[in-house]
Amino acid sequence: MPFTPGDRSMLEGYIAKARPFADMFSVRGKTAIVTGGSSGLGFDITLRLLQGGANVVMASYSELERDVALELLEAEGFKDTVRFCKTDVTKEEEVEALVSYTVETFGSVDIYVNCAATWNYAKIYDLPKEDLQKVFSVNVFGAFYGVKYVSRVMKDAGNGGKIVLISSNCPVMPYPVFGGYPHYASSKAAIMGLTVETAKELKRYGIMVNSIAPGGMVTPGSAGNLASESLTDEQQDEFYDELMVWQTDGQMEVDQIGIMAYTMCTPAADGITGEVIMVDGGATHNIVKFQPQIDAYPPEED
% helix, strand, coil for the chain, step of 5 = 45, 15, 40
C-alpha 184, offset from chain centre:
14
H/E stretch holding 11 reads helix 5-17
Active site residue 184: yes
d(CA 148, CA 7): 45
Please give the single-letter amino acid code of residue 150: V
Catalytic residue among 184, 240, 262, 297: 184
Q: For residue 159, what are the CA distances in angstroms to 197, 205, 223?
A: 20, 8, 39
Could you list the beta-strand ranges (E) of 138-279: 161-166, 207-214, 276-279
* 33 close to 112: Cβ distance less than 8 angstroms: yes
CA pair distance 199, 273, nearest whole angstrom: 6
**Residues with active-site annotation:** 184
